[in-house]
């Protein structure tokens, strides 16, 4: 017998996507986005509310990157979700991570995350019910360490994080690996 749980975002798993963009001065900001998805062969949609630092940066730069967060970088991925670029000016710098400019779009590639999609902005969606950013994926880069013999990303090697809306946990294929909004909390005190 099923028990009523009320209103719960009952989709599992959710991706853990690191969305990065430059501001008008070339400063990097990265945001953790779980509400995003591939929406066509070469398109991605990210459900980011208007006014977020990353939203404003994408509006300015017209480009962004989307990296897949992995288990090895869970603490920083979580920090990118709990820290607001509108409130913490040195958000990216606190992590000690490294960014280089994409050679395909005007957006930062975060070196530590193993897979990245380089995207150009197609449109902002704003309706009564949804705010979103649609981008065209122009290229995907991946570290050789996460590739299989056929040159494609191997999920068993990637250890990509999945977010669960039920318990607010991070998982990889298999056991839970961390608690969302907690794993990166120590970086808030820097």
CA dihedral 63, 121, 18, 5 (to 10 degrees): 160
Task: Please give the domain boundaries of the chain with CATH numbers for all domains.
Answer: 14-182 (2.30.110.10)
pTM value is 0.91
pLDDT greater than 80 at residue 143:
yes
CA–CA gap between residue 128 and residue 176 (Å, rounded) = 36
* pLDDT tens, residue by residue, 10-41: 888 899 999 999 999 999 999 999 899 999 99
Residue 44: per-residue pLDDT: 98
């Amino acid at each position: 017998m099923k028990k009523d749980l009320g209103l719960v975002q009952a989709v599992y798993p959710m991706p853990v996507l690191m969305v990065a963009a430059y501001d008008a001065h070339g400063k990097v900001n990265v945001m953790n986005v779980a509400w995003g998805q591939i929406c066509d062969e070469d398109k991605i949609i990210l459900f980011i509310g208007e006014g977020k630092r990353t939203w404003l940066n994408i509006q300015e730069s017209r480009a962004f990157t989307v990296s897949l967060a992995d288990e090895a970088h869970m603490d920083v991925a979580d920090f990118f979700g709990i820290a607001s670029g509108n409130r913490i000016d040195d958000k990216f710098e606190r992590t000690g991570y490294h960014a280089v400019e994409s050679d395909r779009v005007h957006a930062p590639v975060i070196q530590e995350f193993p897979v990245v999609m380089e995207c150009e902005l197609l449109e902002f969606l704003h309706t009564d019910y949804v705010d979103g950013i649609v981008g065209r994926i122009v290229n995907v880069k991946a570290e050789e360490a996460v590739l299989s013999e056929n040159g494609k990303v191997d999920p068993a090697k990637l250890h990509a994080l999945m977010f669960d809306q039920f318990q607010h946990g991070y998982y990889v294929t298999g056991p839970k690996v961390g608690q969302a909004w907690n794993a990166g909390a120590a970086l808030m005190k820097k």
